[in-house]
A and B are shown apart, each in its own frame.
Chain A
Amino acid sequence: MVGGKRQRGRKPLMGSHQKCWLWGRHVVLETLRAGRWKPYCVWVSAEFDEAMRQQVTAAADRCGACVEVREPAEITRRCGSDEHQGLIAQMPPFPYYAEAGLIEPAAECPLFLVLDGIQDPFNFGSLLRAADVFGVDGVFVGRRNQSAVSAQVVRSSAGAINHVRLAEVSDLCELAGRLIAKGVALVAADGDAELEASEQDFSRPTALVIGNEGSGIQRDLLAKCSESVRIPQYGRVSSLNAAMAGGILLYEICRQRSLRRGASDGLSRTAEHTKPAGD
């Protein structure tokens, strides 16, 4: 009966057997509601009131996840954290988007985020959250040195993982080539760059590249980037955290694009106003 045990445990899991549980009321409910990444099973605290339990059951039913009522202590033991707020979910591996699906039907002036070896789950989650807020069309991660989508990442992303389009590619340099072929400019975030972010023109299709917390962007990928930008510094600590740099640069890109949109709206409005006068 060598195979028996393996067969029963064969459903693929996020992380490992111990690490496949998402915890926290907001994060689990958000994942159930989004319905894309479907939990196998949800545990709710025996201390929940009837209304809350029904809310969870309804959401879980739509995902085809079973619901079990458990004691809070048991839930704590299972997920390994006491911050579960009475709700945990057992997850399969994260369903990444296919790369082609993100590049092809992209918006008129797409904005992509390429993460090269983000290892800290807090940083990864926080970057996904920023990508969601600033309307990034697709986030790409490689396989080397990259934090996987873990419970901590999902928590740091505050549920944004369910809304951001995230693809995993085998080779970021090859991806860079395909993006360039589609007319997307690769812009590297690099503390040693000469150009300040505000001097860069982000109105073109852009992929912002953020490197590893310690070693930065790998050399081959950096070589594919047409520009490098930095965030001007005024203090004495010389580097920003990767998630912070990413958030600030994404904001700068959105700011420039909304200014430009505002300006062109203004122009077209003036054009409309002057036209009848001309007639």
Chain B
Amino acid sequence: MSHLILKNPHSILEALRQRPEDVFEVRIERGGSAAWQSVQEAAAAAGVAVREIVPRSNRPRGRQHETSRRQSASEASLRPKNETEIDRLFAAEEPASGLWLALDQIQDPHNVGAIFRTAAFFGVRGIVMTKDRSAPLTETAYDVASGGVEHVPFTRQTNLARAVEAAKQAGLWVLGASEHAETDIGDVDLDRRWLLVLGNEERGLRRLTLKHCDMVCRLTPKGAIESLNVSVAAGVLMAALNR
């Protein structure tokens, strides 16, 4: 995708702040919310083109349904964010701590977006995603992430096992999350640099991926990782590792 159309003012605002050169144009309805007004100001300050569009309610009859009823018609078009090379992704200034994520074939763009948003909140250093059978970073993922994509470097890899090995080379420890683990997340040593590996919505971690983990942990109550939505399970694990 060479060109994204985003509709969440918060994701547009972060893109304008982090990489204004990638934003082609912002189209804003007159009289929008405070969030859209900040978008307008940030765009103007960054020298990005702002076009005012006619609010839906003022459009001629019969053309009012061109966008969904709830959302405003405001939007921005921009280039997708560049990936980070895997070696740079794992390089860190502070050697003692830090958290990285690896998403093993997560398929729903809502989940990917939600994980990026939470990762940004907890200051995750980088995310490795798989290329096959995985949700790409779609417009939905950017908008659900609400700006989170702009703050967390990421890479997409064909071979997750090789990426995990690269992480180990860089001095990271690999932590899998699985129902079948004995260790509770609360007993994991927090003074390490962890790469937390999260499995797919239905199948969990693949056997091969599991084999590469230094440690596997679970949540209490037993069954929580499988029963929670994968993005919420990811959030709970990130919060626990940040304690």
List residues of A whose CB falls within 8 A of some B CB. Answer: 122, 126, 129-130, 132-135, 156, 158, 160, 198, 231-241, 243-244, 247-248, 251-252, 254-255, 258
Asked, given contacts A133-B224, A237-B147, A239-B121, whether A244 binds B219 with beta carbons under 8 Å apart, the answer is no
- Cβ contact within 8 Å between A236 and B118: no
- Per the bound structure, the CA–CA distance linking A251 and B235 in Å amounts to 10
- Per the bound structure, the CA–CA distance linking A233 and B124 in Å amounts to 11
Asked if B232 is an interface residue, CB under 8 A from chain A, the answer is yes
Q: Is the interface of B mostly helix, strand, loop or mixed?
A: helix
- Per the bound structure, the CA–CA distance linking A236 and B123 in Å amounts to 7
Q: Is the interface of A mostly helix, strand, loop or mixed?
A: helix
- Name the A residues within 8 Å of B239 (CB-CB): 231, 248, 251-252
- Cβ contact within 8 Å between A133 and B228: yes
- Name the A residues within 8 Å of B120 (CB-CB): 235-237
Chain B contacts with A in 101-140, Cβ cutoff 8 A: 110, 114, 117-124
- Cβ contact within 8 Å between A243 and B232: yes
Extra 6 A-B pairs, beta carbons < 8 Å, given A129-B228, A237-B120, A237-B147: A132-B227, A231-B121, A241-B114, A247-B228, A248-B239, A251-B239
**Nearest 10 Cβ contacts at the A-B interface:** A235-B123, A234-B123, A237-B120, A247-B232, A244-B235, A251-B236, A248-B239, A133-B227, A126-B229, A235-B120
Asked, given contacts A122-B110, A126-B232, A235-B151, whether A241 binds B118 with beta carbons under 8 Å apart, the answer is yes
- Name the B residues within 8 Å of A241 (CB-CB): 114, 117-118, 144, 146
Partner of B235, one of A133, A236, A239, A248: A248
- Cβ contact within 8 Å between B122 and A233: yes
Closest to B239 in A: A248
- Per the bound structure, the CA–CA distance linking A160 and B227 in Å amounts to 9
The size of the chain B interface, using a CB distance under 8 A, is: 34
Asked if B80 is an interface residue, CB under 8 A from chain A, the answer is no
Asked if B221 is an interface residue, CB under 8 A from chain A, the answer is yes
Asked, given contacts A134-B221, A237-B117, A251-B239, whether A244 binds B232 with beta carbons under 8 Å apart, the answer is yes
Asked, given contacts A122-B110, A247-B236, whether A255 binds B186 with beta carbons under 8 Å apart, the answer is yes
Closest to B124 in A: A235
- Name the B residues within 8 Å of A198 (CB-CB): 243
- Cβ contact within 8 Å between A254 and B235: no
- Per the bound structure, the CA–CA distance linking A247 and B242 in Å amounts to 15
- Per the bound structure, the CA–CA distance linking A241 and B144 in Å amounts to 9
- Name the A residues within 8 Å of B148 (CB-CB): 237
Closest to B152 in A: A235
- Per the bound structure, the CA–CA distance linking A233 and B239 in Å amounts to 9
Asked if B95 is an interface residue, CB under 8 A from chain A, the answer is no
CB 8 Å contact bits of B219-243 with A (1 = contact, 0 = none)? 1110110011101110110011011
In whole Å, how far is B219's beta carbon from the nearest beta carbon of chain A?
7
Partner of A232, one of B117, B224, B242: B242
Residue from B119, B147, B220 having most chain A Cβ neighbours under 10 A? B220
In whole Å, how far is B226's beta carbon from the nearest beta carbon of chain A?
9
Closest to B14 in A: A237
